[in-house]
Structure 1
């Protein structure tokens, strides 16, 4: 399970498998662009859950693989058993919630070996918020975890796969994976899944399926129904707009002539229906292959969601691994807007780009902010610590940003208000020599509004709450949190921070 209780100094143990290498310099997500969403880690096969005006993205945890000489190798996907979670309420600044330990001996679902391509859903059951995470155990079945919050702690409520080869109606499905879930207005939920191409059936694979979920969200009801999606490959998606259901998927890459009303290879295609289980009508494609926009191809995988009266598509592309000049296969999540034609219900073509989407609200610096909240960054990674204390349902793993000398985090469009703050406080642990945490405006070398001297590390991981006075921060400005040192070996963990108004001191 994914949890921790209130941490005490020296009590944490580092989750080594979750550690990420710091990517030197500003790379991948370059100011003022919004794509890829984060540049300190990879994340593929995004699925979106909107809760309390915040979007949570659940992603396959792509991790760099190395050969015996320590050189990066092409992604084999074979050892991925965790799901990465990030969230945002403004779509530019993203909080890294770390990784859900899904499969394997240390995972919530010990029966599973992998966790790919998640889907998430929310239901109120017995008066309580309940969250469900559906995942693919490679292509052999689909499991489900449950939690009381969007970020955990997660348990396996059934102790086995939810959908297997024995599930009615899935016998002919090549790949049992890539779930998508919708909870309809009447609270009935449906799960969509499947993929693959039976021999000689590129045009009509008939490997997509839809089933009802039980009221408990952890069982299936009846028999899976075929979705006759032309040139189906993988990546089921579902959303509802103006009482129409949109089933979206990635088309396959089989070469050869295709009828005019067929999806080109490797694009996100869509079908519509007035019923959640069909019948479906093919409508066209809405997003071309990433290679068309970013000069690096690969598969397409997406999720369409609504936030603040606007529709968006999350999808992945290999832009970060391309920028890092490493072998292919490592995917990063991007966002662009989606527009439906009011008159016809058709989805307008999406233009994928590095620019991304507009920030939909200013950032509030006066609440507690996780140190792993990042708009842009340079030389920053995140670190996940597992607590050895008691479980706490209200807590998730402790996630901190890890900064080294000259590294920085930038937060976009921070609203300091007309009066501005007088104080800044942060929870920090030092793993190296003394350093200075600088607060600057608009640029990494911009106006200095405050600084905190961080004492050198002690033998055990010691969290300190450090405070400094702040002057000169007013209105809406970008905030840079930067680590400086006269030596090259400071390494600090930034767990949490906030600004304080004069009348709150």
Structure 2
């Protein structure tokens, strides 16, 4: 078969248009779901982002209403090894009857960290139960399963040193070079204390990372509002936070409304020196504001900031408080100060090409149009992080950025799919949704969308580095397949 001239047997429909994230743009990181309040964990050459799981709320008429955050009891997780193609790991069930922490009602603004304890890798998520207290979950893997190791909040109003903290939330965590752990948290504005709310705190964690030691110490952050962050850079400790929205006159050098500012110390517990503002409010860059929430992390020798903005919900026509995570680079000056960060849709450079000659999860996506993802239920395994691309209609597609087929190129394409009662296909194209067709995988009618089968087809003309587009074709007005993974072969 001359695949370069292949024509699908299905009725032509133009490729679906992407919403919220344009092809070749890096931000927002994903556009098939929301994700707010990002926090980064780097482990084994991957960065994992843990986010508040924003989902639409609806009024009695079925219209999307303003995000109240009241029903958020899950956290969302994505990861990447190149910072452009992101794998969707689904959600962590945190709070409520189905969650790991059944005592909690909400899960907001997570912080995550890795520590080797007794020779074993342990992972910890700290989360805010609204603004009332802070809990902790543990796992042996960055993607779970997660358990509540103490069965109650880690930080409460009874914790020494937090009695006057208005909002007991928005944790950040640091494991120092000596193995000691520290947690940073707090926020809110007591009446009349807009300029110096004095509601940020730092506290030492026990060796187990699930207990606290001593008394929480205040961090004198000017115009503090929320969103603690912590990093150690060249022996200095950088505390970052979001400023409040006080509309009065502020002294020169103070952070303005809803900006990310930072302080520096020689010790994880302070004292702290205010240095300045590093990221303006999202309204400055994207013409839509709201709160500002960030996390700074190092990956392969460079520094990055993850932050959220309402770009996706704005593009969907519902700018009502639903947020998406973005990524831009951070630069330090020679004197240790941080250059002001410019947020944009461009995002960051891809760190390496994607290898298509190993199994690639279908939910690893650079860009997409029309799809969603869901967990693959495995009756033989109580927990499975495996997911599939779903909600697929004729003309929908997913794309991967900078896929390296090598100089000899690929000769075949394999995919694991589950098919319903009608046949369909996957067009394999280069560089755009209607770009060069290098093959088409025919998918016969199957036994249902829970029965996965591996299928293979010939491909020609796949060599060098290209963006790879997988375009789904089938009957209109019908959900086509579920898509688990793919791989090419020489």
Name the counterpart of 2:205: 213
Name the counterpart of 1:319: 311
Distance 1:95 1:472, change over 3 A: same
Name the counterpart of 2:53: 61
Q: Is the 8 A contact 2:137 2:146 kept in 1?
A: yes
Give 3-state SS (helix, strand or coil) of 2:284's partner: helix
Name the counterpart of 1:195: 187
| 1:143 to partner: Cα distance | 0.6
How do 1:213-252 and structure 2 match up within 5 A? Answer: 213-252=205-244
Name the counterpart of 1:179: 171
Give the alignment partner of residue 133 of structure 1, picking from 112, 116, 125.
125
CA distance in 1, matches of 2:174, 2:458: 48
Give 3-state SS (helix, strand or coil) of 2:462's partner: coil
| 1:458 to partner: Cα distance | 2.5
Name the counterpart of 1:454: 443
| 1:399 to partner: Cα distance | 4.1
Name the counterpart of 2:398: 409
Give the alignment partner of residue 373 of structure 1, picking from 344, 364, 368.
364
Name the counterpart of 1:435: 424
| 1:384 to partner: Cα distance | 2.1
CA distance in 2, matches of 1:397, 1:366: 19
| 1:70 to partner: Cα distance | 1.3
| 1:431 to partner: Cα distance | 3.8
How do 1:16-415 and structure 2 match up within 5 A? Answer: 25-342=17-334, 344-391=335-382, 395-415=384-404
* Deviation string, structure 1 residues 154-177 (Cα, Å, up to 9, x no partner): 111111111111111110001010
| 1:486 to partner: Cα distance | 4.3
* Deviation string, structure 1 residues 124-175 (Cα, Å, up to 9, x no partner): 1121111111100000111111111110111111111111111111100010
Q: Is the 8 A contact 1:97 1:399 kept in 2?
A: no
CA distance in 2, matches of 1:431, 1:259: 64
Which TM-score applies when normalising by structure 1? 0.92
| 1:71 to partner: Cα distance | 1.1
Give the total of aligned pairs.
Answer: 475
Give 3-state SS (helix, strand or coil) of 2:313's partner: helix
Q: Is the 8 A contact 1:417 1:474 kept in 2?
A: yes
CA distance in 1, matches of 2:421, 2:106: 36
Q: Is the 8 A contact 2:393 2:476 kept in 1?
A: no
Name the counterpart of 2:485: 496
* Deviation string, structure 1 residues 411-454 (Cα, Å, up to 9, x no partner): 00000111112221111112452111111111111111122111
Q: Is the 8 A contact 2:38 2:306 kept in 1?
A: yes
Q: Is the 8 A contact 2:388 2:485 kept in 1?
A: no
Distance 1:432 1:37, change over 3 A: farther
CA distance in 2, matches of 1:380, 1:172: 46
Distance 1:322 1:101, change over 3 A: same
Across the aligned residues of Structure 1 and Structure 2, the Cα RMSD in angstroms comes to 1.3
Q: Is the 8 A contact 1:47 1:118 kept in 2?
A: yes
Distance 1:149 1:76, change over 3 A: same
Q: Is the 8 A contact 1:400 1:494 kept in 2?
A: yes
CA distance in 1, matches of 2:301, 2:365: 24
* Deviation string, structure 1 residues 359-390 (Cα, Å, up to 9, x no partner): 11111111111110110011111112443434
Unpaired segments of 5 or more residues in structure 1? 1-23
CA distance in 1, matches of 2:315, 2:452: 35
Unpaired segments of 5 or more residues in structure 2? 1-15
